Structure 1
């Protein structure tokens, strides 16, 4: 479905109420289990908080970020779930030369590993730093949260939203924004009168509600304008010859990568192993 004709208020969205998050990391575990993500060697990180693992990666699609602050002379903690924002008009999709990213009618921005050529344009374009490279592999691609699209299209909630007992609500984007504003109106002394994700990057499918200023929590300031418009403005400044050559190289790389993948799967079939399914 074209984003030009899509009613984003009718798509699904996450409402993440940071005042209700206890930092249990149940969503991290559920994400790992559903997506069959491997373990990774990590260490306790204290650079900007106390989160572990320190960063999202090819093995970690979501994580709980810890922020410490002072309130009434006491040290307090704030927690929030970092994940793909599933933008209404995703920059990753606008720059991908092979169409590996797609904004679905249900809301999630999906990723097709069979199309990906590992060019990493999406990593440069994403204002939230979400797509991650498979540095551990000889033929690396890009990985990211897909909003549990395989669940959502069957009428189920994403794994993380199913696991969380208080902080994550999942439903129509319009309803999530109404619910967030309802909570602010009911408890104005508790909540910051701003929603992160309602307008950022043209709006996203992840809406954050908090008691603290977003900049103090480490949220990145992002333009309200949909980012693909900036993408095309930038591309107009690039000489046509470079775009043509770049497109040709991308196509050639895609064919070569697909050939290698097919050969690998054929070798696995002959050896009796089952090819690993991309999540």
Structure 2
């Protein structure tokens, strides 16, 4: 019993050819027919804390229904059973709500840290987790500057759980469930370019209503979830110390200089993972 040697060595061979090309390993994608990232603009001045987005998300992804809205100051976090949460904050202008979920970074640290490309930035923007490629290293959890990916520690078949911006629904031409079910229109879906323009328009037309900053425009190199707020974002518990540059960019210079064995290492791990899965399936069949 073993891995598919032909496919495994073909993948390793392709990696070696890429390495011989030097920096072509990190060449920028072609600008021909670029696909604009999809994004969501969340306007906290419009959010009423109804939790409709939480219920819609739970129903769409077969997750437990959320608990009743907590008191102000009791802050919930996303976890393996909850891909998004809305909390209430007491701020300098009174009570303000803020929704949390995966930020879907333009250049996600989680995908860069993933040795087997299980965490994947799709062409249209959503960052998704692919279970058939995951080896359970949880580097995605450690690398995320927003503390988003969550591991199912108590499951016999654990997964990494996080918001996917309803990637499957987008593929079917539908809106993300949270956007479709927001009665206050606090959530807007569109291209990132369009939503940044809309956010700037709202700030310019109502300068007394908004804090002059779009969270996610530059944070971590830019994200697909964009935020408007009536107060500075630290009052809503946001990580305002996140760097503006992309986190994967910090490691590029290092990767250019490392020996090829370290670049090949993910392929080796993926091969081991594949072999382990096949062995476990064979043992299960034998027991039956």
TM-score grouping bracket, smaller chain normalisation: 0.7 to 0.9
Secondary structure at 1:135's aligned position in 2?
coil
Aligned to 2:120: 102
Q: Do 2:91 and 2:231's aligned partners in 1 also have CA atoms closer than 8 Å?
A: no
1:201 to 181, 199, 220: 220
Secondary structure at 1:93's aligned position in 2?
helix
Secondary structure at 1:215's aligned position in 2?
helix
Find the aligned partners of 1:89 and 1:239 in 2 and give their Cα distance. 24
Which is helix-richer, 1 or 2?
2
Find the aligned partners of 2:212 and 2:85 in 1 and give their Cα distance. 25
The alpha-carbon deviation at position 77 of structure 1 amounts to 1.4
Paired residues, number: 258
Secondary structure at 1:65's aligned position in 2?
strand
Q: Do 1:117 and 1:141's aligned partners in 2 also have CA atoms closer than 8 Å?
A: no
Q: Do 2:116 and 2:266's aligned partners in 1 also have CA atoms closer than 8 Å?
A: no
> Which of the two has higher C-alpha Rg?
2
**Comparing 3-12 and 170-179, the one that deviates more:** 3-12
Q: Do 2:101 and 2:163's aligned partners in 1 also have CA atoms closer than 8 Å?
A: yes
Aligned to 1:162: 180
Aligned to 1:177: 196
The alpha-carbon deviation at position 44 of structure 1 amounts to 8.4
The alpha-carbon deviation at position 248 of structure 1 amounts to 3.9
Stretches of structure 1 that go unaligned for 5 or more consecutive residues are 271-279
| Structure 1 residues 231 and 255, CA gap change in structure 2 (3 angstroms) | farther
| Structure 1 residues 128 and 36, CA gap change in structure 2 (3 angstroms) | same
Stretches of structure 2 that go unaligned for 5 or more consecutive residues are 1-26
The alpha-carbon deviation at position 85 of structure 1 amounts to 0.6
The alpha-carbon deviation at position 38 of structure 1 amounts to 3.2
Q: Do 2:111 and 2:118's aligned partners in 1 also have CA atoms closer than 8 Å?
A: yes
Find the aligned partners of 1:117 and 1:262 in 2 and give their Cα distance. 18
Secondary structure at 2:123's aligned position in 1?
coil
| Structure 1 residues 57 and 263, CA gap change in structure 2 (3 angstroms) | farther
The alpha-carbon deviation at position 258 of structure 1 amounts to 5.5
Aligned to 1:274: none
2:142 to 95, 118, 124: 124
- Hey, which bits of structure 1, 4+ residues long, moved more than 3 A? 2-9, 42-46, 231-251, 257-264
Find the aligned partners of 1:118 and 1:209 in 2 and give their Cα distance. 35
* 1:252 has 2:252 as partner: no
* 1:66 has 2:84 as partner: no
Find the aligned partners of 1:11 and 1:192 in 2 and give their Cα distance. 25
The alpha-carbon deviation at position 50 of structure 1 amounts to 2.7
| Structure 1 residues 149 and 70, CA gap change in structure 2 (3 angstroms) | same
What whole-Å deviation, never above 9, does each CA across 1:207-262 have from its counterpart, x for those lacking one?
00011001121111211111111244566798877776776456424531464368
